[in-house]
Structure 1
Amino acid sequence: MDYSPIRNLYQAEGGMSGVSLAVTPPREPDGTTTPATKPQQKVPVKQQQQQNSVVGGVMGSLRAIELQLIAFIMVFSASGLVPVLDLVFPAFTSAYLFALSRFAFPSYGRTSLEIFQGSRFFRFYVILGTTLGLFLPLAYVLGGFARGDDHAVRSATPHLFLLSFQILTENIISGLSLFSPPVRALVPLLYTVRRIFVIIDWINDVWFIKTLPANAHVKDIAWYWFGRSLAVANLAYFSINIFLFLIPKFLPRAFEIYFRERDEIESKMAEDRHSAAGNKSKSSAEKKAA
């Protein structure tokens, strides 16, 4: 099996902000990313060209990450290391989210709004999740492949497969106004619920099924406990993530934005109808007077 796409993915995603793309840089009203410092430009045309080049570079980086994620997904899909249920789950989730966006929570805005902007501590928390959930498990899988430890590769691969699909889905729908905030918030929620069960299977494999030989070397013992500790750390982190952030904070925030936007649009439409009715009555009265 060719694992070069996985190695390339590990090298390319060093700049990702975190597992969930809920935390993003501040954006201008036109949708462009706000730089950390804004240089003073006397000529507006040059400033616009600079902003366009920055946005183009960011979009190019996102496309590169998405291509790496697709390569990662394809390699493990074809490897036979991912159970059928986990292979089907992304397709079912995508279809369900699309149905919600059409029938339950249609989008009312023309732009994709940010759902949550966190503090520095929260950004550190998200980066920690990226390290525990993506980088270290990927290193564990690559290390298992190098050591010939098929058990390690098979145990951690389903989690990586689902997390890659989650990041890819978030990258795609976060920039589309077709999907409303509640639908976007359900992406990490649904995937995290499924991955918690997958991580529990991972823990069962490394804690209760995999055993060490009596004459194991120190490096083998260290590798054994690295896999055990990583599985427990992932379960702890993503359990905290879903029960202390996604459900009590992130999801309500998404619904708050959605219903506020819907109420504003409905209020504006009611005012327009009232104004149109008033103008029509005034026009009829003027005609009768004439």
Structure 2
Amino acid sequence: MSGGIGPTASDIRLAKEEEVEQKSQKQSTRRGFLSFRQLNALAVIIVFSASGMVSIEDLAFAFFTLIYVFFLSKFAFPLLGPYPDPPVFGQTNKILSLYVSLAAVIGLLLPIAYIFEGILEGDKEGIKAAAPHVFLLSSQVFVEGLTFSLGFSLPIRAFVPVFYNSMRMFTLLDWLKAEIGKAGEGSGGSIRRVYFGRALAVANLGLWSFNLFGFLLPVYLPRCLKKYYGYKEKV
């Protein structure tokens, strides 16, 4: 979900400084296999899978993506050096940090709260429609963290959000159709829940459409490939 936002390297360094940074990068990627964010995402994945809210197709997609990531990292985009590639964006970018936090609230926290409220109100349609998006986004967060902690190359770290975001566009459209199809109170909980579900589905569709077509494909993916292949712009 983050799109590979993290610390970047400076343009000019002394040899000693560069050596120290490379060692710190190597240590940081091996420090802690699962982060707190990954553990939370893994917990959501397990709960949703065990509860039967996720279809076999979505489970198969998540499993296939994990296998395919390792395949690509071995045969298509392996690391070109002894140390992991530095992230594309820096930690000091406040706009991107705010964007990631907003995406986490709209994409995960609010839909999870919506699903748990649906359990209390008996809104089976709303739960069934929103669950695939939450499951796939949680899987994306988990695999993104995995590719970073294991030190995969930049193209692999870009592949995960692009692949998952593309798949979730279909689940978001299905979610919006299901919310619009609700007649009102009695078919999907209270009237307030019906309107909130519609607004949440629209907000997620707009957010992740922009994320895919306005950020990942035109900005993030090209920068990852340029860094990976050592592309330098002509002055």
Alignment match of 2:61 (pick from 68, 83, 89): 89
**Where does residue 225 of structure 1 map in the other structure?**
195
Aligned amino acid, residue 81 of structure 1: M
- 3-state DSSP class of the match of 1:251? helix
> What TM-score do you get using the length of structure 2 for normalisation?
0.82
Alignment match of 1:201 (pick from 174, 182, 189): 174
State whether structure 2 residue 36 is matched by structure 1 residue 71.
no
RMSD between superposed Cα atoms in Å: 2.6
Q: Distance in 2 between matches of 1:241 and 1:213?
A: 33
The answer as to whether partners of 2:7 and 2:87 remain within 8 angstroms in 1 is: no
- Provide the identity percentage: 39
The answer as to whether partners of 1:112 and 1:174 remain within 8 angstroms in 2 is: no
Runs of 4+ in 1 over 6 A off after TM superposition: none
Consecutive unaligned residues in structure 2, runs of 5 or more: 10-19
Compare relative contact order (CA 8 Å, sep 6+) and give the higher one, 1 or 2.
2
State whether structure 2 residue 235 is matched by structure 1 residue 253.
no
The answer as to whether partners of 1:116 and 1:250 remain within 8 angstroms in 2 is: no
Aligned amino acid, residue 60 of structure 2: V
1:26 Cα shift?
Answer: 5.8
User: Which deviations, in whole Å up to 9, do the C-alpha atoms of 1:41-64 show, x marking residues without a partner?
Assistant: xxxxxxxxxxx9xx8xx949x534
**Where does residue 187 of structure 1 map in the other structure?**
160
- 3-state DSSP class of the match of 2:184? coil
Q: Matches of residues 130-149 of structure 1 in structure 2 within 5 Å?
A: 130-149=104-123
Q: Distance in 2 between matches of 1:245 and 1:65?
A: 22
Aligned amino acid, residue 158 of structure 2: A
**Where does residue 163 of structure 1 map in the other structure?**
137
**Where does residue 78 of structure 2 map in the other structure?**
106
> What TM-score do you get using the length of structure 1 for normalisation?
0.67
Aligned amino acid, residue 24 of structure 1: G
**Where does residue 121 of structure 1 map in the other structure?**
95
The answer as to whether partners of 1:144 and 1:150 remain within 8 angstroms in 2 is: yes
Aligned length in residues = 215
**Where does residue 211 of structure 1 map in the other structure?**
183
Greater Cα radius of gyration, structure 1 or 2: 1
The answer as to whether partners of 2:84 and 2:153 remain within 8 angstroms in 1 is: no
